[in-house]
Amino acid sequence: MHCPMNRVDVVNGAVGPFDDYCDGYGNPGSSGGGYISVLKLSTGTVAKTMDSVLEGIVSYDRAEKNDAYAGQINMIAASSFSGPNGAVWGYDLARHDGLVDGSIKTLMTRTRSDGVEIKVFPVAPLLAAGEALFGTAHSRRFPLLPGSHVICATKDVTVSGPTSVWSAIALSIAEDRESDSSLFIEDVGQDIAGDTPAERENALHARMEHIVDSVVLCGEDQGVKYKEIFVGFKTEWVPEGHVGCGLTCAPYLVLARNAVPNPASKLLDMSLSQWERQFATARSSLDGAGR
């Protein structure tokens, strides 16, 4: 069986009802049945001056607003797949320039059960693409609508210092995307061994090997062949007297109207830098009109 939606239909059907805000997938008013996944990794810390529940809330909210801005939303945790009616921002549409020109280097490889080699790349280009879409807390572009209900592939952890906190994500792209889902793996934790930041980062790089192994095993269990994998992490030291949160998430969303050309599927042929140039021009025009 094959999905009745091709990639053009997916993107054209993933435009939301708001001009300057993205919205959660499945909310009313979108242009169709498609959705877009955006990748985000963040950490956040707060001083221990409140009770543990409040410290957890504040550190989590800081992780939401740090890096690609995903603050003020109602995250709804879901399982971790991007199906035939989904597309990935920075990969399928507004593709990161480093993926377009091949300058993103392979981190490692894995061999599938059929003998085909899977290349593993850093997830940083996809994280950068997410930040380009949402903007940051201090310079917002097309963030999710405040208060919106947003289904996310997500995990988080809250820890008390002194320790390190980290979040990681992997995206594995299915070879047959008309029949199979691409897979997100989210992982979070604390207390990576090492006396220095460099030693702790080296330990996390080793952990990425395990995450990649888990992707391969999940593919074998489901009978899904993955053609490439993106993986990476974010980490922060949580000092004594502080609480830290590690957050990994991939919201499932529809795009802001002003973030897309007409038709939206033109994004499939745009690089991220081309999309940013078009966005910046439109933004400048709107600002000049007193937006």
Residues catalogued as catalytic: 186
Q: Name the residue type at position 129.
A: A
User: Are the CB atoms for 95 and 71 separated by under 8 Å?
Assistant: no
Write down how long the chain is: 291
CA-to-CA separations, 56 to 26, 44, 62, in angstroms, rounded: 29, 10, 10
DSSP letter for each residue of 223-262:
T--EEEEEEEEEEEEE-TTEEEEEEEEEEEEEB-GGGS-S
Number of neighbouring beta carbons within 10 Å of residue 288 = 8
Whose CA is closest to 90, among 122, 134, 120, 128?
128
* Strand pairing class (135-136; 139-140): antiparallel
Amino acid (one-letter) located at 178 = E
CA distance 116 to 176: 14
